[in-house]
């Protein structure tokens, strides 16, 4: 306990962020156009993560219609949308066409396999790897009173497929 207290609060906070990377850091925006920042609190040795609007941080509670959201819930919603995208035939074909520009030998089957392979292993990935993939795939996520709108990076899908393709191998 003494070692923890002698460590600077800034360093402790940094260590906590490293241990629990925020999947949507820099990607989540509110209905008023303000960014949401990851934060956390501890109660009775339990960590509670959430994202809070910069508007709320600057001007106080009640200044944004969506002031804060539980991290687990919003991250699960974004992950669900990503997983849905991985299965859509038009996304697979579009990603394959774009990937062919970078690698003319890549096959549609290799792209499909790479995208489909990611879905079942997502939960097995380390949080840091999930965050890296989210940063690669998500342009931004807008949260509002009407729900969540996730915009993807097409070039991110291509990069991911190329990365996974080298692990999966090229199909005929």
Query: Cα(92)–Cα(94) distance, rounded to whole angstroms?
Result: 6
Quick check: is 39 in a domain? yes
Quick check: is 80 in a domain? yes
pTM of the model: 0.72
Quick check: is 11 in a domain? no
Q: Per-residue pLDDT for 5 more than 90? A: no
Quick check: is 6 in a domain? no
Q: What is the pLDDT of residue 1?
A: 42
Query: Cα(115)–Cα(101) distance, rounded to whole angstroms?
Result: 18
Domain that holds residue 35: 21-168
Quick check: is 153 in a domain? yes
Q: Per-residue pLDDT for 2 more than 60? A: no
Q: Give the chain's domain count.
A: 1
Find out whether 156 and 99 touch, Cβ atoms under 8 Å. Answer: no
Q: What is the pLDDT of residue 11?
A: 56
Query: Cα(159)–Cα(64) distance, rounded to whole angstroms?
Result: 36
Quick check: is 7 in a domain? no
Tokens of 7: 């460590």
Q: What is the pLDDT of residues 8-47, one digit of tens each?
A: 555 544 444 445 578 999 999 999 999 999 999 899 989 9
């Amino acid at each position: 306990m003494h070692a923890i207290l002698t460590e600077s609060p800034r360093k402790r906070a940094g260590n906590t962020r490293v241990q629990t990377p925020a999947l949507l850091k820099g990607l989540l925006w509110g209905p008023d156009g303000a960014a949401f920042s990851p934060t956390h609190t501890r109660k009775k040795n339990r960590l509670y993560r959430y994202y809070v609007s910069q508007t709320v941080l600057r001007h106080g509670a009640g200044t944004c219609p969506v002031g804060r959201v539980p991290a687990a819930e919003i991250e699960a919603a974004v992950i669900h949308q990503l997983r849905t995208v991985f299965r859509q035939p038009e996304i697979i074909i579009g990603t394959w066409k774009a990937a062919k520009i970078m690698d003319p030998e890549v096959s549609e089957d290799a792209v499909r396999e790479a995208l489909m392979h990611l879905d079942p292993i997502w939960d097995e990935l380390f949080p840091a790897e999930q965050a890296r993939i989210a940063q690669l795939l998500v342009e931004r996520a807008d949260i509002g009173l009407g729900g969540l709108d996730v915009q993807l990076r097409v070039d991110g899908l291509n990069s991911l497929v190329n990365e996974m393709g080298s692990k999966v191998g090229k199909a005929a």
